[in-house]
A and B are shown apart, each in its own frame.
Chain A
Amino acid sequence: MRSDLATDDQGRLLIDVRGPRFGAAITATLLAIALVVQGPLGVGLVAWQWLMFAIATLAGLAWSPYGNLFRALKRRFDLGPPPATELEAAPRFAQACGLAVATVALVAFAAGAATVGWIAVAVVLALSVLLATTGLCVGCELYLVGQRLRQGRRRADEPA
């Protein structure tokens, strides 16, 4: 864990709630361009975005390239303190969802099923646009639902 970032009392990373929206705006822009131009450049952009999702998912949001770009811009342009902070778990899960669908797209391109690949890219694009323009994070909501189900099952497994 990088020491210059905010954490809660249990040492878990806290992020500025504006960060994921900023990242989603970049993701949406790149994927929109990819979807329009397609071809090798389009697939290249999807591969780049896959790498961004992979870093954020596996290494954590402290290492997310878009997140760090946001931190740099925040310092450079003095955007002020975060309006609120949140734990990284839910947005990191959302990045994992993006990674999963982007993987489907790349596998489809490799297998020659370009149409399937572009449909998968359109799904990621739609969810990024939703987060960037309205702040609704579908992946984050899925994380909360999944967590509740998992905890419920664990509790049900315990002897009464």
Chain B
Amino acid sequence: MDPVLLRLLLVVAGVALVTLLGLALRRRDGRIVASATPESDGGASGGGADTADDAPRLDASHLDAVGLDTDGAAAGAVLLGSPTCAPCDAVKAILSDLAQEREAFRWVYADAADHLDLAREHRVLRVPTLFVVDAEGRILGRTSGVPRPDDLRQLLDGRDVDLAA
């Protein structure tokens, strides 16, 4: 085969492959990874808690450090970002909309560079990374990238974080 034609085919195939890979990566972007199921209450633990106590959580020290006060709130969110991150602003806008809709929802923004211990412990590789936690700091779900607002609403709907706070 003519080498120019062969290279043309290789380049076209490579471009298609990279594009498909990128689309797959982008579909994963912003998807909520749930880490605790609110439906698990009354299970083996039998206690009043509706989430398993061994669920991953943000320590009180971490919550203090980022300044999230969940007193009287049903759920909160910690957004890790950086000053040069454009998608972080999009996530901030989504969170402030949610906080207006739901009184029992609090959120804070923190620079990931200021909270490297948290980032290391929870393997935060990218900004924006968002943690949604219950009042005790148990992680209900996390996302990297810009989440869809309705996905976040659905996550919070399972937590009675409604207007009737």
Binding site for B on A (CB under 8 A): 17, 28, 32, 35-38, 84-87, 89-90, 122, 125-126, 129-130, 133-136, 141, 143-145, 147-148, 151-152, 155
Do residues B4 and A36 form an inter-chain contact, with CB atoms below 8 A?
A: yes
Question: Chain A nearest CB: distance from B15 CB in Å?
Answer: 5
In the complex, the chain A residue whose C-beta lies closest to that of B12 is: A32
The 8 A CB mask of B7-25 against A (1 = contact, 0 = none) is: 1100100110011011101
Separation of A122 and B18 alpha carbons in the complex (Å):
11
State the 9 A-B residue pairs at the shortest beta-carbon distance, nearest first.
Answer: A134-B22, A86-B86, A151-B113, A133-B19, A87-B84, A152-B116, A129-B18, A130-B22, A89-B84
Task: Give the chain B neighbours of A152 by CB distance below 8 A.
Answer: 113, 116
User: With A17-B86, A144-B84, A148-B119 in contact, do A134 and B23 touch (Cβ < 8 Å)?
Assistant: yes
Confirm or deny: B126 has a beta carbon within 8 angstroms of a beta carbon on chain A.
yes
A144 touches B82 (CB 8 A): yes
User: For the complex, is B112 an interface residue (Cβ under 8 Å from A)?
Assistant: yes
B75 located at the interface, meaning its Cβ lies under 8 Å from any Cβ of chain A in the complex:
no
Which residues in B have their C-beta under 8 angstroms from that of A85? 86
Q: Which residues of B1-60 have CB atoms within 8 Å of chain A's CB atoms?
A: 4, 7-8, 11, 14-15, 18-19, 21-23, 25-26
Q: Which partner residue on chain A sits nearest B26 by CB separation? A: A134
Which residues of B have CB within 8 Å of A125?
11, 14-15
User: Do B113 and A147 touch (CB < 8 A)?
Assistant: yes
The SS class assigned to the B binding surface is helix
Known contacts A38-B7, A134-B25; A84/B86 CB under 8 A? yes
Residues of the A chain whose Cβ atoms lie less than 8 Å from the Cβ of B7: 35-36, 38
User: How far does the alpha carbon of A147 sit from the alpha carbon of B113 in the complex, in Å?
Assistant: 8
Residues in chain B near residue A129, CB distance under 8 A:
14-15, 18-19, 22
Assuming the contacts A36-B4, A135-B26, A152-B116, asked whether A147 and B18 have C-beta atoms less than 8 A apart, the reply is no
Inter-chain CA distance A86–B126, complex, in Å, is: 17
**Which of A32, A87, A134, A151 has most B Cβ within 10 Å?**
A134
**Interfacial chain A residues near B112, Cβ < 8 Å:** 148
Chain B residues in 8 Å Cβ range of A89 = 84
- Minimum CB–CB distance for A12 against chain B, Å: 9
For the complex formed, measure the closest distance between the CB of B116 and the CB atoms of chain A, giving whole angstroms: 5
With A130-B22, A148-B113 given, can you name 20 additional A-B contacts, CB distance below 8 Å? A35-B11, A36-B7, A84-B86, A84-B90, A86-B86, A90-B84, A125-B14, A129-B14, A133-B23, A134-B22, A134-B25, A135-B26, A136-B22, A136-B25, A141-B126, A144-B126, A147-B84, A148-B119, A151-B113, A155-B116
